[in-house]
């Protein structure tokens, strides 16, 4: 997925503690390829988004669809920026919109 830039690897046990998900839920996310091993800080942020969506009552198949759409939109936004493509009213920032929809504060 091209998001493996962090060198720090996070164990499932640490991910469970920092994400607020159970070990079973983290393993299920791995099985469904919502995150990949070895886990990184990006994956930890994704697990927190997943926890938030689960708290909203969305099931894992629904979360898969939401996260896939999010990745597509972010990729489109990145390619639009790389191509210097003008979007009507060019203040349309998907990164900021997704952050408002699924904000997260790092839990230390």
Q: Cite the DSSP H helix spans in the chain.
A: 12-19, 23-31, 41-55, 60-82, 94-101
Asked whether residue 1 is assigned to any structural domain, the reply reads no
| Residue-level pLDDT at 108 | 46
What pTM does this model have?
0.69
In the chain, the number of structural domains is 1
Q: Is the pLDDT confidence value at 34 over 70?
A: yes
Backbone angles phi, psi at 68, to 5 degrees: -65, -45
pLDDT tens, position by position, 53-80? 999 999 999 999 999 999 898 888 888 7
Asked whether residue 103 is assigned to any structural domain, the reply reads no
| Residue-level pLDDT at 6 | 46
CATH number (domain holding residue 36): 1.10.1660
For residue 43, give its domain range: 12-87
- Model confidence band, residue 90 (pLDDT cutoffs 50, 70, 90): low
What share of the chain in percent tops pLDDT 90?
55
């Amino acid at each position: 997925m091209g998001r493996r830039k962090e060198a720090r690897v996070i164990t499932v046990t640490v991910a469970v503690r920092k994400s607020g998900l159970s070990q079973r839920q983290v393993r299920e996310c791995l099985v469904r390829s919502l995150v990949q091993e070895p886990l990184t800080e990006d994956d930890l942020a994704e697990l927190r988004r997943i926890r938030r969506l689960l708290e909203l009552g969305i099931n894992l198949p629904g979360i898969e669809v939401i996260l896939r759409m999010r990745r597509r939109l972010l990729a489109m936004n990145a390619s639009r920026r790389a191509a210097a493509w003008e979007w009507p009213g060019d203040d349309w920032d998907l990164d900021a919109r997704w952050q408002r929809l699924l904000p997260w504060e790092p839990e230390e």
